Amino acid sequence: MGSILLVDCSRCGKKPSYYTRRYSGESLCAACFQETTVEKVARTISKYGMLHRGERVGVAVSGGKDSLSLLKILHELNGGARSEAKGELVALTVDEGVSGYRDEAIEHARAVCDELGVEHVVVSYSGLFGFSLDQALDWKDDRELTSCSMCGVFRRRAIDEAAVKAKVDVVATAHNLDDYVQTFMMNLLHGDVERLAWLDPSTYDENFPVRRVKPLTEVYEEEVALYAYISKIPFQSASCPYMHEGLRSEVRDYLNELEAKHPGMKNVLLRSSLEVSSRLSKAGRDDDASAKATVPCARCGKPSSKGVCGVCRMTEIVWQHAKVLDRNGNIHTIQ
């Protein structure tokens, strides 16, 4: 251990440093940390052509630190001198219907939207699918679906529906660098090579009118959390009561250990993942010129990787159990 010295911010040279980026060696004061984080996001946006001037941008806001930080950063870029994100922002929130958990997050989202003057669109599982997550999990057979796999599929669809309702051109989600590399590793560990090709930070699906972008792809989770803290963003820190991460939390711990021993390792892994993903998706296109990432679902017509989409398959399973379990004489039909 070296001695602890109070050093000046390596950027402005005026204020004492507050945070050291071990992977780059910068020691930054709080204000310079915030500014460089916003600048990094601006560079990511322009590198991947994520946003274009004048667009209506939907920001998927759950009420957690990542999504509220993303909203604040995009809002700042909107009002600042840089032009990458100049457009109209709309926050899109999904109410999954988890009593005692979701309400607080939605309150935080609403408070930040009010403060920033950003339009806020909320859609609910109940409104879209006919059941809340609480109900779906109460009804389902444990052997068939895990809460996270089910919720992931429904949430993505709900965001899509909110995006269409809000008439946005593009949806920005708050996946950070850690989310990205964890997902990459998870796909490797599950042997799911095909999915490795789907990890582009900026995607367009010809079966869906809205582009999807991840402007926080190059920001460490730790730095998103610090940005939220310094910016005094109120956010929900409790995790979803249904969350069970299994392997993902082991992957997260492993990557954090690697990063602690070898600062910058996550950045290297991100670059490798992006390269593998882009080569795989290019190879896929070359192999079959007509290959598409998705096909329209045979039931609902929404983009799907197979004949019937995950939402339709899972909705059917949920309603089958609802029929069995509803003892009040209410027979639900499959949607």
If one counts every other C-beta atom within 10 angstroms of the C-beta of residue 88, the result is: 14
Tell me: does residue 12 bind Zn ion (CB under 5 A).
Answer: yes
Tell me: does residue 314 bind Zn ion (CB under 5 A).
Answer: no
Nearest in space to 138 (alpha carbons), one of 147, 148, 127, 128 = 147
Do 50 and 41 form a contact (C-beta atoms < 8 A)?
Answer: no
Tell me: does residue 158 bind Zn ion (CB under 5 A).
Answer: no
Tell me: does residue 300 bind Zn ion (CB under 5 A).
Answer: yes
Angle at 67 between CA 62 and CA 68, to 5 degrees: 100
Candidate list 59, 197, 293, 297; residue touching Zn ion; CB under 5 A? 297
Candidate list 71, 151, 312, 322; residue touching Zn ion; CB under 5 A? 312
Tell me: does residue 318 bind Zn ion (CB under 5 A).
Answer: no
If one counts every other C-beta atom within 10 angstroms of the C-beta of residue 75, the result is: 20
Angle at 75 between CA 89 and CA 220, to 5 degrees: 110
String of DSSP letters for 101-133: THHHHHHHHHHHHHHHT-EEEEEEHHHHHSS-H
Per-position x/- string for 17-56, each x denoting binding to Zn ion as judged by CB under 5 A, each - no binding: ------------x--x------------------------
Residue in the block written with tokens 């109460």 = 138
Q: Where does this chain touch Zn ion (CB under 5 A) — which range of 69-77, 138-146, 233-241, 305-313? A: 305-313
Based on CB atoms, which residue is closest to Zn ion, 29 or 174?
29
Based on CB atoms, which residue is closest to Zn ion, 61 or 136?
136
Do 260 and 218 form a contact (C-beta atoms < 8 A)?
Answer: no
Tell me: does residue 109 bind Zn ion (CB under 5 A).
Answer: no
Structure tokens at 38: 């916003």
* Least separation in angstroms between CB 295 and Zn ion: 11
Tell me: does residue 317 bind Zn ion (CB under 5 A).
Answer: no
Candidate list 123, 216, 309, 314; residue touching Zn ion; CB under 5 A? 309
State the amino acid at position 314 in one-letter form: M
**Helix, strand, coil % over all residues of the chain, rounded to 5:** 50, 10, 40
Candidate list 252, 285, 299, 332; residue touching Zn ion; CB under 5 A? 299
* Least separation in angstroms between CB 164 and Zn ion: 15
3-state secondary structure of 183: helix
Based on CB atoms, which residue is closest to Zn ion, 268 or 298?
298
* Least separation in angstroms between CB 7 and Zn ion: 11
Q: Where does this chain touch Zn ion (CB under 5 A) — which range of 153-161, 212-220, 299-307, 317-325? A: 299-307
Tell me: does residue 9 bind Zn ion (CB under 5 A).
Answer: yes
Distance CA 38, CA 27 (A): 16
Structure tokens at 146: 């895990």
Tell me: does residue 162 bind Zn ion (CB under 5 A).
Answer: no
Q: Where does this chain touch Zn ion (CB under 5 A) — which range of 4-12, 73-81, 148-156, 221-229? A: 4-12
Distance CA 278, CA 293 (A): 13
Point out which residues bind Zn ion (CB under 5 A): 9, 11-12, 15, 29, 32, 297, 299-300, 309, 312
